[in-house]
Structure 1
Amino acid sequence: MPYFESTTDNTHLHFVDYGPASGPVIVFVNSSYLSTEMWEYQMLPLAAEGFRCVGLDRRGHGRSEDVWGGFDLDTLARDVGALLDQLDLHDVTLVGHSFGTVEVLRYLTLGGGERVARVVLVSGVAPGPARSSDHTQGLDPELIRAFNETFRQDRAKFFTEGADAFFARHLPGPTVSDAYVTHMVELCQGATARAATALNDLLPSLNLVPEMAKIDCPVLVVHGSADASAPLHLTGRRTAALIPGATLHVYENAGHGLFATHADRLNEDLRTFART
């Protein structure tokens, strides 16, 4: 299996690289808890169409090394950059989901724009869900910290009980099977306890608003109207408004897991945007 070492602390990170080496490059950055397997409905068909699809298992996730440190946002973003450098990728369409959108944006503002041509932010938590001086409608940071403590006490319960809302299974429209839900819960539990809680601990103070105006490449924001994990009005709409020239696509009745429920629509958005 392909691995490389992070440039900050030599952590062994796993990646996948599908499709022809000469194809248009799409790099996928995962949600919290999940590995590159979350993108199966994107990476496999798009690679078969001629795109080069690359994905990274974040430290402590999937098949990457279980480590204690390196969960600050700058290090996580540099891990993404190290992958692009390792494979010497150019003209990249960089796609992040949920917490992955935060890493994508921080990578760009750390100076990673040379390799990236365009960005897709899917169901993002960026620029941050918490209340702040420039986001008075956000969630109380203490409520997020209380959630994090509940999460620490029983991660398995959180993943299992939250799965239906994650995929908006209570709403009309495309859905996923019970077996797929079970599979995704198992993938989430594959992230180490250290990695999962460390990412959650970043959320109460997360605020990328000052960085948004610095993004100078084309950006597509994709968000579900029924996203319970990152509500549209708290994250997706704000991101689209704050990044100059960003385009917002709202999927009606789609939840946080639209990469599975609305895979065909997302793939069409990705292939169209990656060819611009």
Structure 2
Amino acid sequence: YVRLHGGVPVEFAVDLDNSTPDIDDIKSKITSKTVAICLISPNNPTGVVFNEKSLRELVDIANQHNLYIICDEIYDQIIFDEKFVGIGKVARDSPVIVLNGFSKVHLMSGWRIGYIAFNNSPKLDALRENLPKLARVRIATNLPIQHAALESLRGPQDYISNFVSEIKKRRDLVVKRLNEMPGLSCPNPKGSFYAFPKIEDNRFGTDKEFVTKLLESKGVLTVHGSGFGEQYGSGHFRLVYLPSLEVLDSAMNKIEEFVSQ
């Protein structure tokens, strides 16, 4: 989407083991043409969740260079080991735009309803003025779905903690099994429902070739890491651990057979 609007996306490094952005790498890539720092936390595809210290550092960088911060927080309640901190808590006067929705946490995938929030930074005056115009056009979410979304917020919320508890068990199984396999290593995701294992053994070819061969020979569908960014995604693959423990265990057996052959 950045390229569609004439921009150039620039990737920055993240320490997957410690769930922290590489601040020096980000600083080194900022130029006079840089417009915004874009984040997804909790992250797809890595499961990384930025802590408050990291978010404050990112806000400081944005302030120094007069940049927007755009943060996707759609997995904000799918957190396993630590408390979630949103960018809004540390934003101060920085122009911060937060994106969120109902498809992940509220299990409303396919309903296509989300929302945008932003602070009172003067740099966002144009957005505040024009966003209501966009909301009034015919592409807006239909009224019944909006009422359903309201009920998902007003009603009982215990299903979320139950859901996260179950997903954590599945994460633990997947990470344990992957790290026991030859030629693979997998950081522990802090949130979302994705694992991002690294392919240590190059005998399978590229990450795209790896996932293609895995699908063709074992029927296990994953996504090649380079599809999320060539620079830092290559040599990885993304795995979704939403299925039941039984299904995941079967998939892990098949992946183990594949990498052990």
Q: TM-score range by the shorter chain?
A: 0.3 to 0.5
TM superposition score normalised by structure 2: 0.33
Q: Which has the higher contact order (CA 8 A, sep 6+)?
A: 1
Which structure has the greater CA radius of gyration?
2
TM superposition score normalised by structure 1: 0.31
